[in-house]
Amino acid sequence: MHTREHSLGEIAVRFGLVLRGDPAVRVSHVATLSNAGPGALSFLANSRYRRNLESTRAAAVVLSEEDASSCKVAALVGLNPYLEYARIAAVLHPGAAVLPGIHPSAVVGAAAQVAASAMVSAQAVIEDGAEVGDGVFVGPGCLIQRNARIGADSRLDARVTVYSNTRMGRRCIVHAGAVIGSDGFGFARDGAAWVKVPQVGGVLIGDDVEIGANTTIDRGAIGDTVIEDGVKLDNQIQVAHNVTIGEHTAIAACTGISGSTTIGKRCMIAGMVGFAGHLSIADDVVVTGLSLVSASIRKAGSYSSGIPIEETRVWRRIVAQLRRLGRTTRASRTGIG
């Protein structure tokens, strides 16, 4: 990461914060309260860490009015310190610059449309009919297939696969190894065998979407899989064909969403949650980790079915008791074991 120096005075003005300290002091990078040294900007957004505030050697700390009195170094006082920290950190640690041009090892189809301000990195492939917008970063080894479209200022980190019929909005970020637009899992029975159902839809992705490393998003069977504006997907998430994810919903790693399920806006889904197919999930729903969502959710709220661990010997007793709950008759079970 590149870093740049900025004075506290400049930061206070730019981000609308109240500065308690010397406006000429300069910061060059971010650090945690406990690891900060000279030139470091830190933040306090969780009162659990307030004890670290007293001993911090940071040059300045972004924090709330409530915590400011305990701060012995320069304080940048705001209403939402974590948000304000995020914005300052982006200034101190800007991402790698997008240097317009196409690396000589990249393979770009003669009929591909790549904006002059876009950067296409080594070993990338952009097929005929693909469109790459202004300021887009196409990282090493990325593939953009024919007729796919990448909106302005989006960033495909490395080894991202974008299949045909994907339309991605502006300012999206896609991390390494993600696959967007692979065939959905659709088969019709033909006796014992399966016949592939052609997957002819696409993927429609809004603006400001972030997609994690090795996450997979299937194209629609007919019609599109839809990821609305501002959705944030962590690593190794699976999004099946014809799913819709509503704007500003955030989903943690390893969650899987089956086909044709619609998730509402502003939902927060934890990791390793499984959604069955053809469900409808309301706006503002929270689902905690390792839960199974097998029916639609009609109202906002928090939902769970993950069971916290016990010591294994205790857990075995619980499972034995659970099994007893299922025995309404004395019929012996013969299928398992």
What is d(CA 156, CA 207) in angstroms, rounded to the nearest whole number?
A: 14
> What contacts 178, CB < 8 A, 6 or more positions away?
160, 161, 211, 212, 213, 214, 215, 216, 217
Looking at 10-18, 24-32, 69-77, 111-119, which segment touches its own copies (CB under 8 A)? 24-32
With b for 16 or more beta-carbon neighbours within 10 A and e for fewer, the 98-128 pattern comes to beeebeeebebbeebebeebbbbbebbbbbe
Q: How far is the CB of 72 from its own copies (least distance, A)?
A: 20
Q: Per-residue x/- mask for its own copies, residues 272 to 311, rule CB under 8 A?
A: x-x-x---------xxxxxxxxxxxxxx-xxxxxxxxxxx
Q: How far is the CB of 15 from its own copies (least distance, A)?
A: 12
How far from the centroid of its chain's Cα atoms is residue 50's Cα?
29
What is d(CA 123, CA 140) in angstroms, rounded to the nearest whole number?
A: 6
Q: How far is the CB of 8 from its own copies (least distance, A)?
A: 19
- Catalytic, 241? Answer yes
What is d(CA 268, CA 109) in angstroms, rounded to the nearest whole number?
A: 40
Q: Give the DSSP letter of residue 328.
A: S
Using CB under 8 A as the binding rule, whether residue 208 contacts its own copies is answered as: yes
Q: Per-residue x/- mask for its own copies, residues 36 to 75, rule CB under 8 A?
A: ----------------------------------------
Q: Is residue 229 packed enough to be buried (19+ CB in 10 Å), middle (13-18) or exposed (0-12)? A: middle
User: Pick from 159, 162, 105, 104: which is nearest to 133 by CA?
Assistant: 162
Closer residue to its own copies (CB): 12 or 207: 207
With b for 16 or more beta-carbon neighbours within 10 A and e for fewer, the 199-208 pattern comes to bebbbbbbbb
Give the H or E element holding residue 131.
strand 131-132
Considering only residues 28, 52, 113, 214, which one is a binding residue for its own copies as defined by CB under 8 A?
214
Closer residue to its own copies (CB): 69 or 324: 324
Closer residue to its own copies (CB): 69 or 332: 332
Q: Per-residue x/- mask for its own copies, residues 177 to 206, rule CB under 8 A?
A: x-x--xx-x-xxxx-xxxxxxx-x------
Looking at 15-23, 53-61, 70-78, 119-127, which segment touches its own copies (CB under 8 A)? 119-127
Using CB under 8 A as the binding rule, whether residue 15 contacts its own copies is answered as: no
Q: Which of 2, 93, 103, 241 is catalytic?
A: 241
Closer residue to its own copies (CB): 69 or 312: 312
Using CB under 8 A as the binding rule, whether residue 232 contacts its own copies is answered as: yes
Closer residue to its own copies (CB): 115 or 213: 213
Considering only residues 38, 105, 111, 128, which one is a binding residue for its own copies as defined by CB under 8 A?
105
Using CB under 8 A as the binding rule, whether residue 98 contacts its own copies is answered as: no
User: Under DSSP, is residue 245 helix (H, G, I), strand (E, B) or coil?
Assistant: strand
Q: How far is the CB of 39 from its own copies (least distance, A)?
A: 14
The answer to whether 307 and 289 have CB atoms below 8 angstroms apart is no
The answer to whether 109 and 128 have CB atoms below 8 angstroms apart is yes
What is d(CA 180, CA 215) in angstroms, rounded to the nearest whole number?
A: 8
Closer residue to its own copies (CB): 54 or 194: 194
Residues 233-252 that bind its own copies (CB under 8 A): 234-236, 238, 240, 247-248, 250, 252
Interface size with its own copies, residues (CB under 8 A):
129
The answer to whether 271 and 288 have CB atoms below 8 angstroms apart is no
Just list the catalytic residues: 241
